[in-house]
Homo-oligomer: A and B are copies of this chain.
Amino acid sequence: MRNQYLKIEPVGGIGQIGSNMTLIQGANDTILIDAGILFPYEDFFDINYLIPDLSTIPVPSHLVITHGHEDHIGAVLHVIKQFPNIKVLASPFTAALIRKKLEFNNTPYPITEYRNVDQLGFIDFNIDPIHVNHSIPETHGLLIRDHKEEFGLFFISDFKIDYKTIYERPFDFEKLIKLSQNLKRKVLLVDSTNITSNTLQTPSEADIIPVMDEIFASTEKRIFITCFSSNIHRLMTFISLAKKHGRRVIPHGRSMISYLNTANELGMIPDFDSVIKPADSVTPNQDNLVVLLSGCQGDFRGTFRRFCMGEDSTFKPRSDDLVLLSSKAIPGNEKKISLLMNKLAELGIKIITSQEKLIHVSGHPGRDDLTHLYEKFKPTDIVPIHGETSFIRAHIEHIKKTFPSATPHYFLNFDSMIVSDDLKLTINLGKKHDPVIIHGKQLVLEKEKISERRKLACNGSVFISLKVSKSLTDVEKISFTFQGLPNLVTKGDDKFKRFLENYFVQISFKDMDKTTEELRIAVRRYFDQTLGYKPQTFIHIL
């Protein structure tokens, strides 16, 4: 048996969209690519996010970040805590975003910047960042090659191919081809986000500009736009059109202001000073405003929601406003967003969504774009990543159909691909680990605690405390608190009190645990008869 040469193991990002994190191990090196968070699948009651279980992975020396989206950098804080000696590498803009996050959490940490032309050298391999297009500036694919330059892994989780964009170079196929053409085995790990989409070629970021230009020309009144705050190129479109149409741009909402400032600090926004004004420097009702609202997913605490509900203290929606949703609903958020659209519609406000006009484009490749990439890179092997399991399966079918010369490989988080010295590939199935739930001050909340919370929320709750006489024969005092139970119960306090008093006539308090448990069961049964469900019941006997 040959020695292991390289091991590629995703620990997040396959089978779910989010929490992207991939382990690359050579004989000497252990590095992580990306450290992302996952938003909960089912409702976890305001829980912030989930991350891969970092306790299950070997200690990495480096963390290399491909781009600055939350599902790629959101867990950097946790990685640093878990692996206090890790060296974090990111492009300048991405590094600035990470630094802001860390400072916000009072845990500054040095981030090493890599530029597009840099080669990141390790003992077992080199990494060349390849510039790709996406929906945030400075997104990279990573070409990982052994020093013999026989084996190459092109890791490219999020990307699109944009030949028309005016904001950056198109996907750098030239560099990719130049560096990879002599490799004997070429493995492509690649984005599956849009594999089931009927849009085969993702439109260019530039395609939005004339559509937006026309929309800007169509109204003299205020324009409100919500979009992903990290989409700096999109924001640049709004800013330059605002300038053209003699409007002021007001970024509104913490994340909108923060991303714009970060980009501006790096000199990325040419018209910043002349066009962008803070909200408190304008008359909110003046017509010539373009207000950029964060919270395009309708998040409960988001600025877009606050505006739509009429709860924003600066900008109140007016019937002659124009509202643009330059974004799309991430699955699960559809209802939250349509609720807000209804609120605006009630006021008679004109709303334009990306369903009606091309005011949003995806940052991920359509099926034809993927085929284009296969044809350029000519991989021997392809591993679909970045997608739900059903997407990964669909991507495998797409590879079989459009690029049969490559071998598609299906594997999920914690499975791994082993590259041997003679460049053979083996897939090993790994033990699965549930992601970890993070709530509050970046703290772990155990899964069973979510279940406790769910029960409280679904059934309401009763707290009862009893003061028992020294002789353990009489109840001297009863207190109880209802939470989340209907008026039928709470306005009938006396009825429940009588039930308890009657119950106490016949019991003893000699065996406290037994009495407590019996009372708990009796109380739950009492409510079940009235309500049809059993509140969570907690009893203290003192």
Q: Which residues of A contact B (CB under 8 A)?
A: 15-16, 41-43, 45-46, 196, 198, 331-332, 334-336, 338-339, 341-346, 348, 351, 355, 388-390, 392-393, 412, 439-441, 443-446, 449-450, 452-454, 456-458, 460-461, 463, 465-467, 476-477, 479, 481, 483-488, 530-533, 536, 538, 540, 542
Contact = CB atoms under 8 A, between A and B. Distances in A.
A145 to B, nearest CB: 32
B336 A334 contact: no
Contacts of A336: 42
Given A344-B390, A540-B463, A453 B335 contact: no
Contacts of A536: 483
B342 A488 contact: no
A7 B445 CA distance: 55
A337 to B, nearest CB: 9
A439 B335 CA distance: 21
A457 B454 contact: yes
Would you call the interface of chain A mostly helix, strand, loop, or mixed?
mixed
Contact of A346 (B346, B389, B476): B389
Given A42-B339, A449-B460, 15 more contacts: A15-B342, A41-B335, A43-B43, A332-B335, A338-B390, A341-B389, A443-B488, A445-B486, A452-B483, A452-B484, A465-B465, A465-B479, A467-B542, A479-B542, A481-B538
Contacts of A345: 388-390, 392-393
A305 to B, nearest CB: 11
Contacts of A45: 454, 457-458
A449 B542 contact: no
Contacts of A331: 334-335, 338
Nearest to A437: B486
